[in-house]
Structure 1
């Protein structure tokens, strides 16, 4: 372990701007910069969106401006906002298909039985998650109704699915028996090993979007298994473009998907300083991402 660093003392907004100028950032309008840094923290804006814009000595490369950093931040915010509704569609669809299938095969309370799953330990952890989700949603009318008016007070699987986090939903699918996973994946026209991998990765991206995180120039720690055609084309799975390809295949019957792709193109045109390669996009990204019309 190297030498432990000491925390730097806090800087006023004026000192933050002076520091940026001293390391080579062009600040054309200091009053504008003050307003921005009063609304968006230095750490969130400067630290995150200066990646790849500095030399090894820690100075900004020539002609990098404060406005460029702001534009990257605004691009990321808009990019995140148009991705989230597509993930929402998948989340709702998967909840529905799993609950319908599982209830029909195992009964509405079949999720309580460890024999209906692969791993007993994971099932025990899942039940802990269930109790926590129910506790957090205890004031929801439908939760109160089942708790107070039904034998045992347990929620049926179709209601329980509505209080699952996407992460819990992904873990539920992962612990289903292979024939059951295959049946769900088949309804999407996808192999179950792919769907399992994709749901985990999409859940991770969903959390980034929900917590105002950065997708621009970010390496993803939960990576999806990509089809061979993509990996052979040099498309990596640790950037957001790889995840978008997964969304494309799950939503292949969605008539609005190509409108989403158009929105991405409009964003790229609006924010010309965006380096799309840092997100895994290839030159022919639009042709790869569009569904056949």
Structure 2
């Protein structure tokens, strides 16, 4: 193991601007740069959105401007917000269909029985997770109602799913029996192995959105299994476009999906310096995303 790095001393806003100029970043309006860096941290803005503009630990490529970096940040912020809204639809839809199927098949408290799942240890961990999540939501009126007025104080599955995180929802589906997974996936017109993979990946993207993270030019660590028709076109599964294709299939009957596609197009046109190829977008991206 090599010698550990030392933390750099903090810099004032003025020092941050001077440091960027020293690294070759073109800053034509220093007051604007100070204003931005007072609202968006140097770490969040510069460290994340300088990728592709400079060599690691090197100077900026010639002609790169501060405004270009801000433009990427603003594109990402807007793209993240509109994408989060689509993920919310998926989350609500999947909660509903899993809860409806599970309650009808195993009863409203059937989730408590490990025999209704594949992995007993996984189920035990799930029960610990929901105990914590119910505790965090203990003041919600519907949680208080079931805990106070019903025998045992347990929440029925149709109420319990409303306190699931998307991650817990994904894990719940993953531990269901294959026949049960197939039934839920069939309601979306999707194979269960695909849906399982997609939910895990979309959950990961959702967490990036929730923490104001970067989707632009990001390699995703939780990758979905893509249909062969996409992989055969050279579309990768570790960039955001691959996840959007999966979201399209889950929301295939959502009449508002194409409005979301139009919003993406409007953002690309507004922020001209953005290169969506770094997100896995193809030249015919809109044709692939739109529902005809």
TM-score under structure 2 normalisation?
0.99
Aligned to 1:110: 110
Residues matched between the structures, number: 292
Residue 45, structure 1, aligned to residue 39, structure 2: no
> 1:87 maps to what in 2?
87
Q: Secondary structure at the match of 2:135?
A: helix
2:163 is paired with a residue whose SS is coil
The alpha-carbon deviation at position 62 of structure 1 amounts to 1.1
Alignment match, 2:199: 199
**Are 1:168 and 2:168 an aligned pair?**
yes
- C-alpha distance in structure 1 between counterparts of 2:152 and 2:57, whole Å: 65
Q: State how far apart, in whole Å, the 2-side matches of 1:221 and 1:205 are.
A: 10
What's the counterpart of residue 188 of structure 1?
188
SS of corresponding position for 2:162? coil
Measure the CA separation in 2 of the matches of 1:7 and 1:97: 49
CA deviation profile, 1:256-280 (whole Å, cap 9, x unmatched): 1111101000000000000111100
> CA separation of 1:156/1:274 partners in 2, compared to 1, >3 Å: closer, same or farther?
same
In structure 1, distance between residues paired with 2:257 and 2:177: 31
Identify if the C-alpha distance between structure 1 residues 224 and 217 changes in structure 2 by more than 3 Å, giving closer, same or farther: same
**Structure 1 residue 3: Cα displacement:** 2.0
> Which segment is superposed worse, 205-214 or 47-56?
47-56
Q: In the TM superposition, what is the alpha-carbon distance from 1:56 to its structure 2 partner?
A: 5.5
- Post-superposition CA distance 1:84-137 (Å, at most 9, x none): 111011100000000000000100000000000000000000000110011000
Matched, 1:283 2:283: yes
Distance, in Å, in 2 between the alignment partners of 1:56 and 1:225 is 31
Where do 5+ consecutive residues of structure 1 fail to align? none
- 1:161 partner SS: helix
Matched, 1:25 2:25: yes
Change (3 A) 1:29 1:201: same
Q: 2:193, 2:265 → 1: CA distance?
A: 31
Query: Quick one: distance in 2 between partners of 1:130 and 1:168?
Result: 8
Query: What is the CA-CA distance between 1:55 and the residue it aligns to?
Result: 3.4
Structure 1 residues 205-264: Cα deviation after superposition (integer angstroms, max 9, x where no partner): 011111100000100010000000111100000000000000000011111111110100
Q: Which residue of 1 aligns with 2:226?
A: 226
CA distance in 1, matches of 2:148, 2:76: 45
What SS does the corresponding residue of 1:17 show, helix, strand or coil?
A: helix
- Counterpart-to-counterpart distance in 1, 2:22 and 2:149: 67
SS of residue paired to 1:184: helix
TM-score w.r.t. structure 1 length? 0.99
What 5-or-longer segments of structure 2 have no aligned partner? none
What does 1:2-17 correspond to in 2, within 5 Å? Answer: 2-17=2-17
Structure 1 runs (4+) deviating above 3 angstroms are: none
What SS does the corresponding residue of 2:145 show, helix, strand or coil?
A: helix
